[in-house]
């Protein structure tokens, strides 16, 4: 049989290697996060489209004010929650960094700090929900104005909170594996890096919820 | 790293359960998908028969119906609520549980690793989970017929307020909740599958399999997964809100309305919101079906025309353009909803624009057929039937995509006829073509050609005879989702039409029995496919045994040296050249790498 | 064959790139980014406080907040999620599809707004 053909292609898009220079696990996490971004994007856009046509939207900075030192401080709790979540993102980044350097115990320590941050955040959120519910906020109404306020509050923060909760569970599993030396034996802490992507994404979503739901 | 022979040999001395039920082998999972999806198709077809019976002879009582559905058809006549439940479940399971899952979960799952020369999906366990979640979705959906009030009855588009308020229609009770749960499961299953299809296609291609050497089937499933990935989540968000509206008393979608004379005090909801969210997935869904279908048809047409596909690159570019455009045209389903006229105009323009890539692909396929040495096998007949249906359906689409004409045609039988031609039938043809074509690979036996040809002709004629007259009825004012034309004075003129359509429709549904018989007969008694490459095709799946072994290849994964469609080259003795044929002068060493 | 064993076979000989010691920035970079995130969040909070005290026009407040939010998002994606250190192909593949959210906004907002002009506030 007589044939000719072009030589085997050598670009990164050719077979036999990853076009993105990353392995499948990490790529899959990125792709998953892209789709999850559309779930949250969907929620936020829906929220936006309702918000612009709803006249008597309660003022979030009043609703979420804390009474402290005899003064109403607007959004104090939310500001604290933001602080906690960003910090946990920071410790997560440092855990991934420790993983790159193959430092097992430092990696585990930062992971535990991250989990702690996540738990603190969840605690604050539980407090916030209780407070609002005792003040009379329900999915179908609230004392201050448009009933959609409560509906969106519970959906947005609830869905985000579920992500934080799954993140905490996910990170705990990863920490266990770090401590058991699974990644050290494998010579790759990619598992930590992938979990890190997820955690930062949860933080990223909070940035938008913080901006568009609480501050607007 | 080579896989040692002993490994492959003793690899699968595992228990029957591990091997066939909870298997992580993409071929087994794909087969499970194929069987489940065909089962759902069968049910959907039976529901279609009920619809056609009702529209044709709904004024006559039938003791048989009463025997079959003591609750749904008391007195032998289908009750209106039951009819609505039937069309809802018919539409839902055929679009989602049959066609979507068959193309991506079934054939996509089977073909991607084989066509790219991989040993399995990137994440086999996730692949298995995807199937089980899908199965749960099917079971849950079917159970809804048994609950109080019956299955969901708000149509497959589940528009509020019908779908929100339990008192709106019988099926809006538990049935609607179950519908939403089932859809949520299905969305999760598609996303889990899609992650694997995308990542596997990008990352696990074997040596030499550059993107521009991928077969069109793999490309098709890839783009469908991409579309699903960015649109299904939005529907998921919407569905969650709908569930909250139903059970937690929120009002995202419910304005203040009167239902059955009762004032329902829900404040400020916007039913149009749901329409946006539904069609944000609902329209791309058509392309989630059409693009893989086009991909499979491309492979089949090239093989049986013995010609390279015309304009391979052009087709891929068209896929990309379709992928993008399909996500931004959803508003054309809402022209009569009071949509802002400025965006209506944009949506209308974009919709018409999408016919450019679509038309390009069809022209490319026609050019591939041109002067080919066409072999009219059953899969090829179905492929040609597909092209015919797509062209017919596309013509109807021009009228619906134009806002001004759609105002007249919306919610008439014209729409039903149109989407049954362009989506239901054409994709059905692609699925049949794929089944006849890949059956020898999957099961190691051929399907019967003579039964297959009968099946094709009856289906082809049946589809045209059933769905083209619906266009005419629609132009004449026959509404869609009408329980019975007999009940309305102004629809009397359509009663004879409905009857004739029903006769053809029942013939069409009956003809599918031929397929069922053929399928199961061939499974056990069909001619054995001893040659792994009976159609003399080039793509990799044909270069391993039929059915392929666990982990697909022997000791070495194949190495690819050329594109997928090198047919009838003047300089070769055979008229085909498999992708893993090395060029002359290349020494193939023991490990298959030069 | 154990699952682990099978996994190594499935992922065969492709992609054997070293994972430890991939190019990564020094610790200092993370700390700086962390610091900036705090500063930006505090900035957003300040905007809120100022708009409480004075009567900052809503469009100005909203654009300020959006810009700050996007900057924070950019920092997180670029540094914490390492996007800056990935290949350009990955950056495009992940970031370009998110533009579709704009289409969703463009489809939903005019419709919502036209509802106001049509019915007044519902
Ligand atoms: C695989 C193929 C099919 C798919 C994907 C499909 C899909 C659909 C969908 C989405 C609907 C709309 C349901 C709704 O309004 O909520 C529908 C309705 C209907 N289908 Fe099918 N269908 C298929 C096959 C068939 C067949 C074979 C027949 C008849 C021979 C048929 C007859 C009908 C009829 C009569 C309606 C009701 C139309 C109306 O009154 O609005 N379908 N189908
Ligand atoms: Cu459409």
Domain boundaries, chain A: 25-214
> Which of A174-188, B226-240, B288-302 has the lowest average pLDDT?
A174-188
The verdict on a CB contact (< 8 Å) between B202 and A16 is no
Which letter does DSSP use for residue B257 in this model? Answer: E
Q: Would you say residue C105 lies in a domain?
A: yes
How many angstroms separate the CA atoms of B560 and B117, rounded?
8
pLDDT at C109: 84
How many angstroms separate the CA atoms of B463 and B468, rounded?
8
- Is the CB of B293 inside a 6 Å radius of any atom of ligand 1? no
Cα torsion A136, A140, A144, A148 to 10°: value is: 140
- Note the pLDDT tens digit of each residue in C71-95: 999 999 999 998 988 888 899 999 9
pLDDT at A188: 85
pLDDT at C14: 42
Q: Which of the two residues, C25 and A77, has the higher pLDDT score? A: A77
How many angstroms separate the CA atoms of B420 and A78, rounded?
52
Q: Which atom of ligand 1 is nearest to the CA of B482?
A: 40
pLDDT interval class at B172 (50, 70, 90)? confident
Q: Which of the two residues, B295 and B7, has the higher pLDDT score? A: B295
Residue C108: closest C-alpha in chain B: B276
Which letter does DSSP use for residue B258 in this model? Answer: E
Ligand positioned closest to the Cα atom of B422: 1
Contact A75, A65 (CB under 8 A): yes
Q: Which of residues 554-583 of B touch A (CB under 8 A)?
A: 560-562, 569, 571-574, 577, 581, 583
Number of domain units in chain C? 1
Helix and strand tally (H, E) in chain C? 5, 0
pLDDT interval class at B323 (50, 70, 90)? very high
Please name which of B435, B430, B418 lies closest in space to residue B514, comparing C-alpha atoms: B435
Distance from CA of C76 to the nearest CA of B (A): 22
- Is the CB of B97 inside a 6 Å radius of any atom of ligand 1? no
Name the residue range of residue C118's domain.
Answer: 86-122
Neighbours of chain A (3+ CB pairs under 8 A): B, C
Instruction: Report the residue from C7, C110, C115 with minimal CB separation from B343.
Output: C110
Residue B84 has pLDDT above 70, yes or no: yes
Residue B589 has pLDDT above 60, yes or no: no
Secondary structure in 3-state letters for chain A: CCCCCCCCCCCCCCCCCCCCCCCHHHHHHHHHHHHHHHHHHHHHHHHHHHHCCCCCCCCHHHHCCEEECCEEECCHHHHHHHHHHHHHHHHHHHHHHHHHCCCHHHHHHHHHHHHHHHHHHHHHHHHHHHHHHHCCCECCECCCCCCHHHHHHHHHHHHHHHHHHHHHHHHHHHHHHHHHCHHHHHCCCHHHHHHHHHHHHHHHHHHHHHHHHHHC
Q: Mean pLDDT, to the nearest integer, of A78-100? A: 93
Q: Mean pLDDT, to the nearest integer, of B82-108? A: 96
Q: Would you say residue C35 lies in a domain?
A: no
pLDDT at B142: 93
pLDDT at C10: 61
Q: Would you say residue C119 lies in a domain?
A: yes
Secondary structure in 3-state letters for B295-313: HHHHHHHHHHHCCCCCCHH
Q: Mean pLDDT, to the nearest integer, of A109-135? A: 95
Per-residue CA distances from B546 to B20, B114, B157, B528 (Å)? 17, 12, 41, 10
Residue B13 has pLDDT above 90, yes or no: no
pLDDT interval class at C19 (50, 70, 90)? very low
Q: Would you say residue C69 lies in a domain?
A: no
Contact A23, C17 (CB under 8 A): yes
The verdict on a CB contact (< 8 Å) between B7 and C118 is no
Q: Would you say residue C90 lies in a domain?
A: yes
DSSP B507-553: HHHHHHHHHHHHHHHHHHHSPB--SS-TT---SGGGGS-SSPPTTSS
- Is the CB of B43 inside a 6 Å radius of any atom of ligand 1? no
The verdict on a CB contact (< 8 Å) between B203 and C118 is no
pLDDT at C117: 65
Residue B205 has pLDDT above 80, yes or no: yes
pTM attached to this predicted model: 0.93
Q: Mean pLDDT, to the nearest integer, of C107-112? A: 82
- Note the pLDDT tens digit of each residue in B134-167: 999 999 999 998 888 888 899 999 998 888 888 8
How many angstroms separate the CA atoms of B382 and B108, rounded?
19
Chain A contact set for B213 (CB, 8 A) = 15
pLDDT interval class at C22 (50, 70, 90)? low
Distance from CA of B424 to the nearest CA of C (A): 27
Residue C20 has pLDDT above 70, yes or no: no
- Find the radius of gyration of the CA atoms of chain B: 24
pLDDT interval class at B588 (50, 70, 90)? low
Q: What CATH number labels A25-214?
A: 1.20.120.80
* In B248-377, alpha helices (H): 271-305, 312-326, 341-369
Q: Would you say residue C111 lies in a domain?
A: yes
How many angstroms separate the CA atoms of A152 and A207, rounded?
16
pLDDT at B44: 96
User: Please, what is the average pLDDT of chain A?
Assistant: 89
- Note the pLDDT tens digit of each residue in B361-384: 999 999 999 999 999 999 999 999
- Is the CB of B426 inside a 6 Å radius of any atom of ligand 1? no
pLDDT at C23: 66
pLDDT at C7: 53
pLDDT at C41: 92
Which residue from B87, B99, B158, B510 has its CB within 8 A of the most atoms of ligand 1, so it is best to mutate?
Answer: B87
- Is the CB of B85 inside a 6 Å radius of any atom of ligand 1? no
The verdict on a CB contact (< 8 Å) between C10 and B11 is no
Residue C2 has pLDDT above 80, yes or no: no
- Whether domain B27-543 has CATH 1.20.210.10: yes
Other Cβ atoms less than 10 A from the Cβ of B490: the count is: 10
pLDDT at B1: 39
Q: Mean pLDDT, to the nearest integer, of B349-361? A: 92
ipTM for the whole predicted complex goes beyond 0.90:
yes
Which residue from B176, B413, B416 has its CB within 8 A of the most atoms of ligand 1, so it is best to mutate?
Answer: B416
What is the whole-number distance in angstroms between the Cα of residue B328 and the centre of ligand 2? 10
pLDDT at C56: 74
Mean pLDDT is highest, among A136-140, B284-288, B477-481, B566-570, for B284-288
Residue A48 has pLDDT above 50, yes or no: yes
How large a percentage of chain B has pLDDT more than 70? 96
Contact B271, B161 (CB under 8 A): yes
Other Cβ atoms less than 10 A from the Cβ of B4: the count is: 10
Q: Mean pLDDT, to the nearest integer, of B292-319? A: 96
What is the enclosing helix (H) or strand (E) of B263?
Answer: strand B262-264
Per-residue CA distances from B397 to A63, A172, B328, B408, B509 (Å)? 51, 53, 16, 14, 25
The verdict on a CB contact (< 8 Å) between C73 and A37 is no
pLDDT at A121: 96
pLDDT at B587: 57
Domain boundaries, chain B: 27-543
pLDDT at B370: 93
Residue B571 has pLDDT above 90, yes or no: no
Q: Would you say residue C42 lies in a domain?
A: no
What is the whole-number distance in angstroms between the Cα of residue B126 and the centre of ligand 2? 31
Residue B329 has pLDDT above 70, yes or no: yes
- Note the pLDDT tens digit of each residue in B444-479: 999 999 999 999 999 999 999 999 999 999 999 899
How many angstroms separate the CA atoms of A185 and B458, rounded?
62
Q: Which two tokens stand for residue B154?
A: 């708000």
pLDDT at B586: 64
Q: Mean pLDDT, to the nearest integer, of B184-200? A: 96
Residue B520 has pLDDT above 90, yes or no: yes
Residue B5 has pLDDT above 50, yes or no: no
Q: Which of the two residues, B19 and B538, has the higher pLDDT score? A: B538
pLDDT at C8: 56
> Which of A62-76, A81-95, B283-297, B549-563 has the lowest average pLDDT?
A62-76
């Amino acid at each position: 049989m007589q044939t000719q053909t072009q030589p085997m292609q050598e670009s990164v898009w050719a077979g036999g290697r990853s076009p993105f220079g990353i392995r499948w696990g990490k790529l899959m996490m990125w792709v998953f996060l892209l789709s999850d971004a559309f779930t949250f994007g969907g929620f936020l856009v829906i929220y936006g489209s309702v918000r612009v046509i709803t006249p008597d939207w309660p003022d979030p900075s009043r609703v979420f004010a804390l009474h402290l030192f005899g003064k109403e401080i607007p959004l104090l709790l939310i500001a604290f929650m933001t602080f906690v979540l960003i910090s946990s993102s920071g410790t997560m980044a440092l855990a991934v960094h420790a993983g790159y350097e193959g430092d097992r115990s430092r990696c585990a320590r930062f992971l535990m700090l991250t989990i702690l941050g996540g738990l603190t955040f969840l605690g604050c959120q539980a407090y916030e929900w209780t407070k609002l519910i005792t003040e009379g906020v329900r999915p179908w109404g609230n004392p201050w104005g448009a009933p959609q306020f409560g509906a969106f509050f519970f959906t947005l923060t609830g869905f985000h909170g579920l992500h934080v909760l799954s993140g905490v569970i996910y990170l705990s599993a990863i920490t266990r594996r770090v401590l058991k030396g699974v990644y050290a034996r494998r010579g790759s802490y990619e598992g930590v890096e992938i979990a890190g992507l997820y955690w930062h994404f949860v933080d990223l979503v909070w940035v938008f919820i913080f901006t568009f739901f609480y501050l607007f | 790293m080579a896989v040692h022979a002993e490994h492959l040999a003793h690899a699968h001395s595992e228990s029957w359960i591990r091997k066939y039920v909870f298997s992580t082998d993409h071929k087994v999972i794909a087969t499970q998908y194929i069987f489940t999806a065909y089962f759902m198709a069968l049910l959907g077809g039976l529901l279609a028969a009920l619809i056609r019976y009702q529209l044709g002879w709904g004024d006559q009582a039938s003791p048989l119906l009463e025997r079959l559905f003591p609750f749904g058809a008391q007195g032998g006549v289908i009750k209106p609520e039951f009819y609505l439940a039937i069309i809802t479940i018919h539409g839902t399971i055929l679009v989602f549980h049959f066609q979507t899952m068959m193309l991506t979960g079934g054939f996509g799952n089977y073909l991607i690793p084989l066509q790219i020369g991989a040993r399995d999906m990137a994440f086999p366990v996730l692949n298995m989970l995807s199937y089980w979640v899908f199965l749960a979705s099917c079971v849950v959906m079917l159970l809804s017929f048994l609950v109080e009030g019956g299955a969901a009855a708000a149509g497959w588009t589940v528009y509020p307020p019908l779908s929100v308020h339990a008192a709106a229609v019988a099926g809006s009770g538990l049935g609607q909740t179950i519908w939403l749960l089932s859809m949520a499961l299905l969305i999760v299953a598609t996303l889990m599958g899609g992650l694997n299809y995308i990542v596997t296609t990008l990352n696990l291609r074997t040596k030499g399999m550059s993107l521009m050497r991928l077969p069109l089937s793999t490309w098709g499933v890839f783009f469908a997964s991409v579309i699903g990935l960015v649109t299904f989540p939005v529907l998921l968000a919407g569905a969650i809100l709908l569930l909250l509206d139903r059970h937690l008393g929120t009002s995202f979608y419910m304005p203040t309305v009167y239902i059955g004379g009762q004032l329902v005090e829900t404040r400020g909801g916007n039913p149009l919101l749901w329409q946006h969210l539904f069609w944000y997935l609902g329209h791309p869904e058509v392309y989630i079906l059409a693009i893989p279908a086009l991909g499979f048809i491309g492979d089949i047409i090239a093989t049986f025309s013995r010609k390279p596909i015309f304009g391979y690159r052009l087709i891929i570019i068209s896929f990309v353009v379709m992928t993008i455009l399909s996500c931004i045209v959803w508003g054309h389903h809402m022209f009569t909803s009071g949509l802002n006229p400025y965006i209506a105009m944009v949506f209308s323009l974009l919709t018409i624009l999408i016919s450019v890539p679509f038309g390009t692909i069809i022209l490319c396929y026609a050019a591939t057929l041109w002067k080919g040495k066409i072999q009219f096998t059953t899969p090829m007949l179905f492929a040609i039937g597909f092209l015919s249906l797509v062209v017919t359906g596309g013509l109807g689409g021009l009228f619906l995509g134009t806002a001004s004409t759609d105002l007249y045609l919306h919610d008439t039988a014209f729409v039903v006829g149109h989407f049954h031609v362009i989506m239901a039938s054409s994709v059905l043809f692609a699925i049949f073509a794929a089944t006849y074509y890949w059956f020898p690979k999957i099961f190691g036996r051929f399907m019967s050609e003579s039964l297959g040809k009968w099946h094709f002709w009856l289906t082809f004629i049946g589809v045209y005879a059933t769905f083209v007259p619906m266009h005419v009825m629609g132009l004449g004012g026959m509404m869609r989702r009408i329980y019975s034309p007999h009940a309305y004075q102004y629809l009397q003129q359509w009663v004879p039409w409905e009857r004739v359509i029903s006769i053809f429709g029942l013939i069409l549904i009956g003809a599918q029995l031929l397929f069922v018989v053929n399928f199961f007969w061939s499974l056990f008694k069909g001619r054995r496919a001893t040659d792994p490459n009976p159609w003399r095709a080039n793509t990799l799946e044909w270069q391993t045994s039929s059915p392929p072994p666990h982990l697909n290849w022997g000791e070495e994964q194949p190495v690819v040296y050329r594109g997928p469609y090198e047919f009838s080259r003047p300089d070769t003795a055979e008229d085909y050249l498999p992708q893993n044929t090395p060029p002359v002068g290349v020494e193939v060493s023991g490990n298959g790498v030069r | 064959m154990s699952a682990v064993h099978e996994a190594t076979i499935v992922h065969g000989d492709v992609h054997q790139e070293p994972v430890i010691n991939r190019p990564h920035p020094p610790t200092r970079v993370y700390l700086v980014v962390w610091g900036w995130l705090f500063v930006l969040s505090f900035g957003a909070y300040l905007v809120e406080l100022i708009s409480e005290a004075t009567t900052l026009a809503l469009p100005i407040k909203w654009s300020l907040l959006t810009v700050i939010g996007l900057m924070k998002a950019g920092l997180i994606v670029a540094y914490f999620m390492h996007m800056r250190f990935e290949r350009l192909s990955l950056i495009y593949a992940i970031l370009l599809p998110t533009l579709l959210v704009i289409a969703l906004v463009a489809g939903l907002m005019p419709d919502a707004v036209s509802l106001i002009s049509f019915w007044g506030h519902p």
